[in-house]
Chain A
Amino acid sequence: MKGRILTYYLFLIVAVCMLSVMSVMLGTATPSDPSFEIIVLNIRLPRMAAALILGGGLSVSGYLLQVFFSNPIAGPYVLGISNGAKLVTALVFIVLAGYGIHLPYLGLVAASFAGAGIVTSAVLLVSRKTRRMSVLVLAGVMIGYICSSFTDFMVTFADDHDIADLHNWSMGSFSGMSREGVVISGILILAGLTAAMALAKPVEAYLTGETYARSAGVNIPVFRLMLILVSSLLSATVTAFAGPVSFVGVAVPHLMRRLFKTAKPLILIPACFLGGSAFCLLSDLIARLLFAPTELSISSVTAVLGAPVVISLLIRKRPDGR
């Protein structure tokens, strides 16, 4: 059992390392290019780091949401949380840009966190009315569409020079990441990951349902609040830097459960991080290289890879009928 888990960890670490190297080395600029070094240091390395850090964070965020809703197809994108974070971030960015104020990274994360919080509250209200996961996800997707429409509307009518970056970002992209952004997002995601690991014990108890968790001694209101705060911190950080990235939060935790064949959060949380990193590094490579020099948005690639996983989750039978 222990040997098997170590083997899978090793496999994931090797995958992340290989994909990282490929991300840096592959592209239209080759080592013989005179500008190769600058491109690697200023563009590819930060972008690779973004996919690695944010992909991992997104996947852990999805895992925590699945625990929270006792629902294997919950995730920041399918529940509309990413698009809510995007809406508020874009709103704050555009309004402040109108006054000539350029928002610092932490300000963007704060706006994104507020957006994530608002949509999460809305989804929570829906979840009180239904225990059927298909209804919950449908509601989340709809809320996500509404938020996305409003963002498009704003981006369309905002001043052109403000939004050159904003347009790419609102479609979801790891490009345009600066070194400062890498450091700040790295610190925030690491904090979220550490907090998630610290919650591993009550998370495991909560997997069996609220009543059993309470009877084992979990303080349910405090635990639920912690869970949603950590998950929101992670998904808000990702959205602030990379915009909404679809399906990673649902697909990766599920793939990790399938791979490791365990429900133990102490094993799954680091696995989700590594798996999310690998998934996003691969997706970003495909987005960048498939039709180079034209780039695809990261979400169109993650959707093609991730959505089938969601469908497979929706159609299978469960003994508890969910």
Chain B
Amino acid sequence: MNERVRNDIPLIELKNAALGYGTQAVLSGIDLSIGHKETVALIGENGSGKSTLLKTIIKEIPPLTGSVLICGRDIKKLSSHDIARTMAVVMTERIYPDYYTCFDMVCAGRYPYTDSLGRLTKEDRDAVEEAMSLTGTKDLSDRYVTDISDGQRQLIMLSRAIAQEPDILILDEPTSFLDIKHKILFAEAVGELVEKRQISVLMSMHEIDLVREMAGRFVALKDGVIDRDGDTSDLNDGYISSLFGLDGINYRKYHHS
């Protein structure tokens, strides 16, 4: 996608970073490197710092100490425009303006590429079209974002991120409020995207079944540090129980996979 990106430099790298808000560190001593063609799931309890980590990576909040590098460059020295050509996001923020069509929403992903009036070229239109066919949302083009279901909207937001042609996709609990059908549709679209474009994905996620299905690697956050960083094939019930404090709770009874 992006010629500036070299394959031997990690897309995202955190070195001994403390992250949080104001002076309050939520996470500390974070060392994390995400390379090319990796799908990484961020797991942990509510309040364990998943969102804090993602917000730091998308430059919504600055790191308190340590360094955060995007494609080898210090995030503090990168403009929003630089980051936009490397990274696209699907976050939990939900603001849906009136009379905003799904097509326009996906076009918003072309922002880093269009001229100062935001006019779309043929290339932009093709990218939008391709993104919407990948998520199977082309039928929704002319509908308003206020008129479709949460699940459909999330697929539109994913299309928007795809149209941005990132090297890495950042997803913050993208499936949390979706019904089962849209959870699956969303997961499949991400899978197809990774397959097709060979990009990386970093996502926070609560559904452990989906994590096993979608991600190759997991990073578990607990008590303000990275508790474990490994293969999702090693993500066994014993570890899930200890990570989420499920001692004495019959996890299997409620969670079939």
Contact = CB atoms under 8 A, between A and B. Distances in A.
Nearest to A260: B99
Interface residues of B, number: 36
A207 B100 contact: yes
11 contacts: A201-B117, A208-B108, A211-B91, A212-B95, A214-B80, A215-B88, A216-B111, A257-B98, A263-B97, A264-B104, A320-B95
Given A266-B117, A318-B146, A212 B108 contact: yes
A217 B93 contact: no
A218 to B, nearest CB: 6
Interface string B70-81: 000000000111
B17 interface: no
A207 B118 contact: no
A220 B170 CA distance: 19
Contacts, number: 97
A292 B101 CA distance: 47
A137 to B, nearest CB: 17
B116 interface: yes
A322 B98 CA distance: 12
Contacts of B170: 215
Interface in A212-237: 212, 214-220
Contacts of A212: 89, 91, 93, 95, 108, 160
A318 B97 CA distance: 10
Contacts of A209: 93-95
Contact of A320 (B87, B94, B117): B94
B89 A211 contact: yes
A208 B97 contact: yes
Given A200-B118, A204-B118, A263-B98, A217 B108 contact: no
Contact of B84 (A217, A262, A264): A217
Contact of A201 (B58, B91, B111, B146): B111
B83 to A, nearest CB: 7
A263 B100 contact: yes
B137 interface: no
Contacts of A218: 80, 111
A275 to B, nearest CB: 15
Contacts of B114: 201
Contact of B89 (A70, A215, A322): A215
Contacts of B116: 198, 201
B19 to A, nearest CB: 17
Contacts of B112: 216-217
A125 B12 CA distance: 35
B131 interface: no
A210 B91 CA distance: 11
* A-B complex: 5 closest residue pairs judged by Cβ atoms: A217-B84, A216-B111, A201-B118, A209-B95, A217-B81
Contacts of A70: 95
B60 interface: yes
A200 B112 CA distance: 15
Given A216-B108, A218-B111, A262 B97 contact: no
